[in-house]
Each structure stands twice: as C-alpha cells, then as structure tokens.
Structure 1
C-alpha cells in the first residue's frame, strides 16, 4: 500500500479522534497477514465509517476497467475484499468522495459530464444489510446517480380475468409516448418469431440465478420449470427513455417489488364479486375446465392478499370498465389535455479532474478549477441531494445541479437558495477532500 493512503489515514485519525494516529506507514501493514497491495494508477480516497475505512479507487480485482473498493477493519486490523454489487463505475482520472448519512458515499468523478459523474456507494443501507445477512460477508453496492426526476413506475396487480390487460392497453393507446413496459427475463427457449430483448430477455438459467442472487431482480418466479422475472435494469431502461414504466405482475411479485428500493405506485384491480370474475373467465372460452379451476383458486388467494395492509396504495373495483379506467387515470394524475410525457432534460456540464467539494446538510458545493481551496472559481455548482429516490441495485434519482454566482454564492434557480461562502463550509469531509486535492 502506498504512502498517500497512510497520509490520508493519519489525517482521518487526527481529525476524528483529535490525537495522533495509532498506526504509521511501516507498522500499519507489517503484521497484517495477506496484506492487500493497493498500488495502482488510479486515484484513491478513504472514507471512515465507524470502525471501518472504505478505500475507493484503483482497479477492481475482478474487473480492471472498474473502480475498486476495499475495506480496512480498524478493530481487527485486517483488509477485506467485499462483495461488490450493482453496475461498477469505470476507472477515471480522479474523483472525490463524501459520506452521506453514514450509510452511503457520494463519489464524484472528475473529467466527466454531469450525466455520468455522480455515483453512490452504499455501505449500510437496508439493501446492503439484507444482502450481508443473506450472504454472511461484507457487501457494498454501486448505484448510478441521475439528475432530475421521473414519474413513479406503476405496479398493477389483480386476478386473471379482472381486466388488467384492457386497462393497461387503454393507457398505452391514449398516451402512446408516456408509458412503457419493462421487458421480462426468462430461461425458457424462444418461440417462433420471438425476438430477444423485445418479447423477452432470454437468459441461461445459471446466469439468471446468479443475477437473482446478486439482487438484480425486483421479482421472479418459477413457472413450469422455467424462471421468469423483472430485472431492475429493465425498469430503469424505461425510465431512462423518459417513459413511465408499467409492471403487470401478480401479488407475490408486487410484494417483492414493495420490499425493494423501487419507488412505485401499487394498484390492485378487484372484480365486483368472485362470481362475476368466474363468469368473465368462462366467457373468454379460451381455457379448459381444469385451467379455469386453477385460475379461480389462485384468484381467491390473490384477492385475499390484495387486501393486505400496506401492500397496495389503491384498490380499484372494475365493475364498469369506463368508470374504472377514469379512476385509474385520476390516480395517475392524467388529464384529457395531456397526451405525452412532460420531460425536461438538465443541461449537461463538464466537471474537471481538479475539483473541491464541501457538504452542508443535503447539499454539496462543487468548486471547479480552483488550485487552492480558498480561491474562488468561475465554475461552482450546488448538488442538491434532498430529493433522492431509489438506490442500489438500480439508479439513484432526484439529484439537482445548480450553478452558483461566485461573488454572491446565490443559486441561479427560481427558488433562490442562500449558501455561505466557500470558507464557511468547515466540515470534516471538505477538509479531507481539500487536503487530498481531489486529483490523481
């Protein structure tokens, strides 16, 4: 391990503990068995969270093109290679890192555009705790930060024959550019004329099982010996395209999605009565009596689960299709005059390698191009994190980036935000970052 990290480590100890560091460069690694060599061409930062130090930088030990993460446990004085989940950011010329709420680290990559420079490394979020409990080892997860917001995805559930498909088709027809479906994954073989990536993502069972284990699926089920499921990435791709994702899944799947980090609206469609549902199923005349009885058994269970407290936000009774469709549109905030999605794309800015960061509450001041911490810059931004949504293993959305006026430190947005001057950001993270220089 190189001396730059030991210097950072000593600064951390000085600042957090108010005393000299316990370990020094020579003794720090001397008696650690199987010490990990962190020498690399990449830039490294060290973030202290309780008794652990997260070293971010250098090449990933499994993927040389991605940023690596290692943990030093101060209590055991051992290095740990954690399981790293999520899409890993590529190596960059330099980055800065700031601890947020004790459970995730904001990593800002230099020499990048603002649509790809913000990443979150989750170290103690509910998703991480769940993964660590299931795996029995240290886990961290990457999530790409996305500027701006998107409309919440819609989860629609209900028993077979209740009319979900008709209601969804109505939305797709009336609002053709506003909604989109996520493409499900399956391990079954493609049927004639089925296209990979359009009808399904056809996957090998071993690959899909591994990705399920890695937390990359919102929900999945085994049907007739094949796996079917909705991946996090499939939903995020719809949102990235500026569309609102609709998930037509059963109650079991809805429960899995509710337990995930996806911020969605959950709607359950009920029949006016069980007898009416049976009548509709038989009227379709597409199934055998055995299949109808199986669907009716499943319907009883789903109707009972649909009443579960806290699972669904709305329960619509489809006694009259036109009335139910109107109520569905009201829930989604749709009006007759709106036919397309209202999308605003934030203006892209370039962040240089050399940048300094400071944190106050839920806002990050990014000072670009300043050779010294006290020196004002013509390129200064405020990254507002107060509306964050989502997280690993998907995207972290809701970031807002504002340009500030260096002479007044006023944010150039409609709702003016007053910020102290750069010298007023006197917190441990700005000190560490400024001392480190945020450069390779």
Structure 2
C-alpha cells in the first residue's frame, strides 16, 4: 500500500483474498472499522460471490488509513502524557525542598503561571484521556491562583451541569412524549384485553343459554308427547325434543370448552406480546438516554442498532397478534438469521440460527435435509439440527476442498428448497505436517560425473 497502487499482475486472487481477510479481521476493532467493512462489503463482491480487485484494494486503503490515524493518535497521546507528567513534577514543590533549589522552583512556577495556566485551563474541561486530565489537575493545583482554581471548579461543576442539561433536554423532548405514548399503548392494551374478556364471557353465556334451551325443548317435547292425546301434539313434542337434542349435540360437537380455553390462551399470548413490546421500547429508550447523557452525542451506529431492535420487536409483536388474534398459521417460512463460528484444534464449528429450519414437514425418502456450502450440498458432519439452530463442523480436509477461500456461504436444503445463505470466514490454517513456503526456482541438477 505504500505507493497506493498495485500492478494488474499483482492483484491476483491470492492477494485479493489476503487483503479482504485482513480487512475483515479488523471489523471488531471499533465502530469505525465495522462501518467501513459494512459499507463497502457489498461493493467488493460480484454477483457470483468473487471479489472485485479494485474495490477490495480501495477498502484496504480505507482500513489502512484509519489504522495509521489511530496509531498516530496513540503516539500523540503518549507524548502528551509524558509532557504533562513532566510539567506536573516540575510544578511540585516536593521536588525542590533544598534551599538552594527554591529560587529555581520560583522561576519555574512564575513561567508556568505566565505561559501554562491559560492553555491548560482551557484544555482541562475538554480532555478525554484520564491520565492527561490527572496531570493537568496536578499542575493547576500546584501552581494555584485564581485562574487555576476557577478552572478546577469549572471542570468539576461543568460536567455535572452538562449532564443535568442533557437530562433535562431528554426529559422535555423525549422522556415525556415517550411516557405519554407508553400510557396510550397501555390503554389500548387494557381496552383490547377488556374487549376480549367481554367477548369470552358473552361466548360462555351463549353456550350456557343454548344448552339450557336445548334441555327445555327436550323436556317440553317429552311432556307434550306424553300428555297429548292427538297425533299433531305428539308430533310437535317429538320435533321440539329433536330440536333441543340437536342444539345440545351442536354445542358438544363445537367443543365449547376447548374454544373457550383456546380463547383464554390466545388472550394471554396477545397480552404477553404487547407487554414485551412496550418493555422493549422502554429498554431501548433507557439505552438511548444513558448513551446521550454519558457521551453527549448519539452516533449513527447507536441509532441504527436501536432502530433495528425496535423494528424487530414490532415485526415479532405484529406476527404474534396475527397468529393469536386473527388465527393465522404460526409456521413461518424457513429463514436463517445469523451464525456463530468457533475454531478449536483445527476444527471450525459453525452454528446457524433461524426459524422453521425443519421446514413444513419431515425429511422424506426422496428429499432430505442437507447442509449446503456455496449453494452446493456438503458432506460436513451435522452435530445438531433443530427448528431454531443447526450445528456443523469443518475439519482441515474439508477446508482444503475450498482452496483456502476466506469466505464461504452456508445455507440449508429442505426437501429440495434452499434457504437464504449466510457468509462465514475461514481463518488461516495449515495441514498437519505441511507448511506454506514461497515458491523458489528449482535448482539445477548436478551433471553426473563421467
């Protein structure tokens, strides 16, 4: 990267893969690295999954620039620590106890009062490094004077005032409206629960009334049939009895107790979904509040994370309401959400998490459940396969099959239908008993002696 360019013949697949592997390995270093990798990850891949040399090289340049800025910042902070520590010792009378050094200390202190107090007083409230702040406080405390004391007072009280101002700002423009919305959501929830309870009680009363009417019709029909001497009266009694019997049988065939019990379960599920959603909203609000009060700024990363969590909670809540309130099918289409990988002793274990990972049914003789790598069925051993997770492992032999590719795509084949694919990386590995070495020109064989 030194000359910011590479020749075309140098941008081969191995070089590009190594650059991408290096960039991807730094994504957890900080939010800045993660943002660069996330923003450019889609642009470096072709539709077939291969890497684009120029785009990969550009991402490497961005990562390297950020890394150099970070290292220069660390060196700058180290130098500032050393300077402020030295000034702190120079301003301390304890190092000048000898009488012959008193005059030297007086001159140093006068120079510090003239040249150092004002810039250090301005810098102290804005300094973020704790070691440098400690040294600045020590310098100002040793020098003394009105300016130094005022700077220390502003530093101590300024942070508290700033936090109080942030808290008041949040309370005025976020917490109060958020509390009002939460109360509205609670009122809607209570109204929905009350309406559901009223509907359930009405259903119970109708069931009891229908059963009672059936019993009355049967008893009335029997009495009319027995007491009546005319044929018409007996027929009327029989018909009334049959009507009552039909009403009772209809109630039993409809399973009223089961319907009531299912309605109770659905009510509890809907109430739980609403409660969970409101609780998650409050939790995200608390997170945003704490971040703003502590840092004074909300980054795009924090906002994206919070919005993603709220959207996920809302989608899950709406799905549960559709299932338990509208009676829709709970079974969702198979989908992979995320994966976790762990490498130990040359074996890479990957855990896929998702929903409905066993499909709509059980594997058949013709079709079956299979693991796919790069959209092709794989022979990797599957250790666990449930409806929410799949665990499989890759040893060095299987890794070698993919020619050391730094990125593979994992998906599932459920009775011939493939799910979405998730990427995972393979760290650098070496076969047992082998080692990668640079290729060298073969030595000339010695000519046989005559």
Q: Please give the TM-score of this superposition, normalised by the length of structure 2.
A: 0.24
Of Structure 1 and Structure 2, the greater strand share is in 1
Question: Which of the pair has the greater relative contact order for Cα pairs under 8 Å at 6+ separation?
Answer: 1
Larger Rg: 2
TM-score by length of 1: 0.25
